Structure 1
Amino acid sequence: MDFANLKAEIIDFSKEIGIDKIGFASADPFLELKKRLYKQQQLNYQSGFEEQDIEKRTNPELLLQGARSIISIALAYPSKIKDAPRSTRSDRRGIFCRASWGYDYHHILRDCLKKLEEFILEKVPQAQVKSMVDTGELSDRAVAERAGIGWSGKNCAIITPEFGSFVYLGEMITTIPFPPDQPIEDMCGTCTKCLEACPTGALVQPGQLDAKKCLGYLTQTKGFLEDEYRGKIGNRIYGCDTCQMVCPHNKGVDFHLHPEMEPDPEVVKPRLRSLLFLSNKEFKEKFGPIAGSWRGKKPLQRNAILALAHYKDVTAIDDLAKVLAEDPRPVIRGTAAWAIGRIGAPEGKKILERAKLKETDEEVLAEIEKGLRLLMDRMIEKQD
């Protein structure tokens, strides 16, 4: 079989089904990545969300016997919201990162890969394929880099010449020996804007991320956010786009090629106070279709409380007092206590002292004490 000709047919078909960029790579083991991953593991820089077996992450043969090639696909997503609602003093809003706008990209890319699989197997019935998106064992970015989709930026994102880094990635391992594409030149040069802009210093050096410090990871955790990061979360409800937004290769990049990726402004830039009392059913109906809902409502509600504290939103004090008094989850009650202290409204002291008399959870009590200390600090500042 003429595999070069088949490759050309696949490229043409990929355009028909809405794939914005496609590349082909060998299925050789990712030896350099393997070294980096072991180093990341030693430094405890991994988030814990990724596949733990480094051999599986770097050797396609372990995932599909007889693997010869990997097909990498990329779909471009929007970076701007049309008619975005404004956050005002009486109506503060949070923000979801751009990669979680629109319909959950996992489903979109899996649908594309399924169509691609069917096309290939119709042409080569004896072939075997295995597709994955994001949560699979392989590193989407390592595959995309090898396949010439883009280069790996200093912010650890794949940057494409056409769409910047605003692309979703997926891949398919195959037993077909396709002619591979060539990786493209790294165009980051001497620029270090992403490293300088990272709010938490999670980008420890070019191409190396301490995932446990990244706000993209921290917004997805379910426990109390460590004190050092609470003031850095801003109005982020899920994820962080800072290292992408400062990247010169993303300047002016905003593609609206897929209707299903268009964000609902009220979903991806939600009113903060409206997030506090959502039922499970309401949460699922409103946020269930987007990728940013996968960890459930608890982390997002905690982040909304931290965002209200960031804004020092005195209009939210009554709602936070209700959360502190009535929410059954210690993390949410405790975060509300801290936020009340951070906001510094005069009635905050009575609210926290009243809650202190009724609270039984030790961690929440510790957060109430933090809130009271913050209020005391604010009083001292005003006196000075």
Structure 2
Amino acid sequence: MNYSQLKQEIIEYSKSIGIDKIGFTTASPFTTLKLRLIRQAELNFQSGFEEKDIEKRTEPRLLMPDAHSIIAIAVAYPSKMKDRVISKEGERRGIFSRASWGLDYHTVLRRRLEKLEKFIREKVPQAELKSMVDTGELADRAVAERAGIGWSGKNCAIITPEFGSYVYLGEMITNIPFEPDTPLEDQCGTCTKCLDACPTGALVTGGQINAQRCISFLTQTKGTIPEEYRERLGNRLYGCDSCQTACPVNKGKDFHLHEEVEAEPEIAKPLLKPLLHLSNRQFKEKLGHISGAWRGKNPIQRNAIIALAHFKDKTALEDLIDILNHDQRPMMRETAAWAIGKIDGNGSRAVLEKAFEKETDEAVRQEIKKVLS
């Protein structure tokens, strides 16, 4: 078998199925990453969404004993909407991060990886292949960095020369011994614009993030967001792009190469008030196809309340008071009480006092008391 020729054929085929960049690396352990992950755990900087077994995250041969190579892929996504919708008084809108526009990227990349697997098996029937996207054991960014897809930026994103950091990543472990590609040199230099732009200081230093403070992480949590971070959420419903939009490499990068990842304006930047009233079924029908819906409706609705407070939208007071008085979820009542205080604390004092009298949840009572004081 001529593996060099096979590699070239895979590269050519990948272009035909919508893979924008492909790279190859060895299945050797990710020793630097391992040390970094151990340190992250010691500092309690992890999000909790990661694979908990550090060995599995850094030792490809624990996932495939005969692994020789890892194929990394990248698919570019747009940074701007083709059709913009405007947030205006009385019709305020939230925003989903760019990586969540269009069809769920897990689906987008898996379909491409499945096609790539089929192509390789036709060439090498005995090939062992294991693909993963985001939720797999391996760290996508570490694989992409070593495979020459891009360098690891100070914002902890992979930055490609062609598409900036606006790329989805996936990988495939295989027992085929491909020649590895050369990693790219770090091109961030002395730039710290991403660190400076981070709303919560989650980027502790170049290449190190405290996920517990990251707005992208906070928008996905299922509990009450700590008060110190609420106003910093702005109108974000899911994710955060601040460190990406601040990056000089991303300036002018806006690729519309794949229809399925194009933004649906009314989904990517939806009206806030209607979001508050969606049932589970309606939420799934409206937003279930995007990656930003993976945690369900509760975090999105909580974030929508915070966004309405950000806009100080008095037209939402009736909705928020209804949530405070009737919603079964303490988290929503607590967040609504805070939002009412931000929008119209004095004007709604009687409403808050009445809600306090009948409230049974201690956390909600404390929030109302804080607003009243």
Q: TM-score range by the shorter chain?
A: over 0.9
Distance 1:181 1:208 in 2: 25
Q: How does 1:178-327 map to 2 (within 5 A)?
A: 178-327=178-327
* Number of the residue aligned with 2:47: 47
- Kindly state the Cα deviation for residue 83 of structure 1 after the two structures are TM-superposed: 2.1
Deviation at 1:109? Answer: 0.3
Q: Hey, what's the Cα distance between the residues in 2 that align with 1:164 and 1:250? A: 5
Q: Secondary structure at the match of 1:253?
A: coil
- Residues 76 and 167, structure 1, Cα contact 8 Å, conserved in 2: yes
What is the Cα deviation at residue 76 of structure 1?
Answer: 0.2
The separation in 1 between residues aligned to 2:71 and 2:84, in whole angstroms, is 36
Separation of aligned partners in 2, 1:219 and 1:145: 27
2:263 alignment partner, SS class: coil
**Residues 337-372 of structure 1, C-alpha deviation per residue, up to 9 Å, x if partnerless?**
111001125431111111112111111111111222
Q: Separation in 2 of the partners of 1:262 and 1:48?
A: 29
Q: Distance in 1 between matches of 2:10 and 2:119?
A: 8
Contact 1:341 1:370 in 2 (8 A): no
SS at match of 1:336: helix
Deviations along 1:170-229, whole A, 9 cap, x unmatched?
A: 000000000010001111111000001100000000000001100000000011110110
Are 2:116 and 1:116 equivalent residues in the alignment?
Answer: yes
Distance 1:209 1:351 in 2: 41
Q: Which amino acid aligns with 2:46?
A: Q
Give the SS at the match of 1:211: coil
SS in 1 for 2:237: strand
Distance 1:257 1:314 in 2: 41
Gaps of 5+ in 1: 374-384
Count of aligned pairs:
373
User: 2: CA distance between counterparts of 1:264 and 1:345?
Assistant: 36
The alignment status of 1:351 with 2:346, answered yes or no, reads no
The 5 Å alignment of 1:70-81 reads 70-81=70-81
Report the equivalent of 2:62: 62
Kept in 2, the 8 Å contact 1:151–1:160? The answer is yes
Task: List 4+ stretches of structure 1 deviating above 2 A.
Answer: 344-347
Q: TM-score, normalized by length of structure 1?
A: 0.96
Query: How many Å separate the matches in 1 of 2:299 and 2:104?
Result: 18
AA matched with 2:259: P
**Structure 2 SS opposite 1:231:** helix
Matched, 1:132 2:150: no
Residue 260 of structure 1: how far off its partner (Å): 0.5
Distance 2:49 2:294 in 1: 12
Alpha-carbon distance change, 11 to 254 in structure 1, aligned in 2, over 3 angstroms: same
Tell me how far apart the structure 1 counterparts of residues 45 and 246 of structure 2 sit (CA, whole Å). Answer: 23
Is 1:22 aligned with 2:22? yes
Matched to 1:286, the amino acid is K
1:79, 1:285 → 2: CA distance?
A: 25
Structure 2 residues not aligned, in runs of 5+: none
Any conservation in 2 of the 1:194–1:246 contact (CA below 8 Å)? yes
- 1:378 corresponds to: none
CA contact (8 A) 1:150 1:159 kept: yes
Asked if the contact 2:345/2:372 (under 8 Å) is kept, the reply is no
> What's the TM-score once normalised by structure 2's chain length?
0.99
Aligned mates of 1:117, 1:28 — CA distance in 2: 21
SS in 1 for 2:130: strand
Aligned match of 1:377? none
